[in-house]
Amino acid sequence: MKLITPSAALIITVMIYGCTTSSNQTVTIPLNATPQNLGQIANTTLAIQGNETAFSFFISGVPNGTLRPLNLYTFINKGSCERPGPVAYAMNDRINTDLMSVGGWTYSRSAPVAMSELFSGGYSVVVRTTPADGNVDIFCGDIKQ
């Protein structure tokens, strides 16, 4: 049995460390259903996109009676879900979603703020139905690592 040389072990360690600490870091945040959308699940994955933050959402369901095709508004608020503050960033240049074959919806948005800024101060992400569907907050998640 041949052992790995110390230099090969060092190279492998550096490669693994580089992969785990790259600038393409992603963080997944669970989104909690509001009382108007009980029993549903959702999450969003944040990724660094230059000086912006990219958000990829998965939504399992919405309140009964919500119109199709599903359109959703998405906001980053100052404060937490428990103590919401004003809207800091609205991500509503597009409001469409994609229906998944396994059930649920996905969609992507971006915010003009660095991910490090979002994690440095108290922010939350809110998913809301359109005014035609009652303008109801259906999911919320605190942005924290």
2 inside domain: no
5 inside domain: no
Sort residue 79 into left (φ over 0), alpha (ψ -120 to 50) or beta: left
pLDDT tens digit sequence for 17-50: 333 444 569 999 999 999 999 999 999 999 999 9
Q: Which domain holds residue 87?
A: 23-143
Look at 101 and 55; give whichever has higher pLDDT. 55
36 inside domain: yes
CATH number, domain containing residue 85: 2.60.40
pLDDT at 89: 98
pLDDT band, very low/low/confident/very high, at 11 (cuts 50, 70, 90): very low
The model scores a pTM over 0.95: no
Number of structural domains, the chain?
1
Do the beta carbons of residue 124 and residue 28 sit within 8 Å? no
12 inside domain: no
What SS3 string covers 81-102? CCCEEEEEEECCCCCECEECCC
Mean pLDDT over 119-132 rounds to 96
pLDDT higher than 60, residue 15: no
9 inside domain: no
18 inside domain: no
pLDDT band, very low/low/confident/very high, at 145 (cuts 50, 70, 90): confident
pLDDT higher than 90, residue 127: yes
30 inside domain: yes
17 inside domain: no
pLDDT tens digit sequence for 56-114: 999 999 999 999 999 999 999 999 999 999 999 999 999 999 999 888 999 999 999 99
Which residues are within 8 A (CB) of 47 and not within 5 positions of it... i.e. 6 or more apart? 24, 25, 26, 53, 54, 56, 115
